[in-house]
A and B are shown apart, each in its own frame.
Chain A
Amino acid sequence: GENVEQHPSTLSVQEGDSAVIKCTYSDSASNYFPWYKQELGKRPQLIIDIRSNVGEKKDQRIAVTLNKTAKHFSLHITETQPEDSAVYFCAASMGYESHSGYSTLTFGKGTMLLVSP
């Protein structure tokens, strides 16, 4: 099955700096890569996603890049703010359809981002 590795496990930055979180995946058939932000005790929330036909996607201060050849994708947060502090999870679709027509996601282990004022 799919295996997703995520680094670093913790990341501390100063407010205004950029933060980069990297993930690799093993299943070359995976073609959907979302990123989720989870604040303490709350549900994961989708912040950005990218599909395999695109190499980069940007939404304001957040961007995601995908390198299909190397099977890695990264989350970039610019001009970080204290409210960006949370755990971020990358994920990849497993590349197969269940009998119901859905594919499941495999999550990375998460990165705790701490943004100091």
Chain B
Amino acid sequence: GAVVSQHPSWVICKSGTSVKIECRSLDFQATTMFWYRQFPKQSLMLMATSNEGSKATYEQGVEKDKFLINHASLTLSTLTVTSAHPEDSSFYICSAKVDRSRNSPLHFGNGTRLTVT
């Protein structure tokens, strides 16, 4: 089956520093990947849609200058949390679809638990 690899699985950083999270599709090409954020005991909230070779599409309320997304290849998308603050502490999960079909499932990475101290 489709495998989405996300790294790191957890990270602790100091306030004001930046953190990069990688999302890779291991056995398929993903022209589009999706980044979600999940706070404890809450649902997954879409942050942005990452498009290979073009700018990401951000959801309303998500700061594009704070959450930098780069999708430089068909198998890799990165999310950089810049100038992280404690309120950015959350579970970040990427996902991708195997095919472009409108009705195909998302495959999720393992997620990255970010703690900002």
A interface residues with partner B (beta carbon < 8 Å)? 31-32, 34, 41-46, 49, 51, 89, 93, 97-110
B8 to chain A, nearest CB (A): 14
- In chain B, positions 85-108 with a C-beta closer than 8 Å to chain A are 93, 97, 100, 102-103, 105-108
Residues B49 and A104 in contact, CB atoms below 8 Å apart: yes
Residues B105 and A49 in contact, CB atoms below 8 Å apart: yes
Residues A98 and B49 in contact, CB atoms below 8 Å apart: yes
Give the number of chain B interface residues (Cβ < 8 Å).
26
CA distance A101 to B31 in the complex (A): 10
B10 to chain A, nearest CB (A): 10
With beta carbons under 8 angstroms apart, the residue of A51, A99, A105, A109 that contacts B106 is: A105
> Which residues of the partner chain A approach B43 to less than 8 Å between Cβ atoms?
89, 107-110
Residues A100 and B105 in contact, CB atoms below 8 Å apart: no
> Which residues of the partner chain A approach B49 to less than 8 Å between Cβ atoms?
98, 100, 102, 104
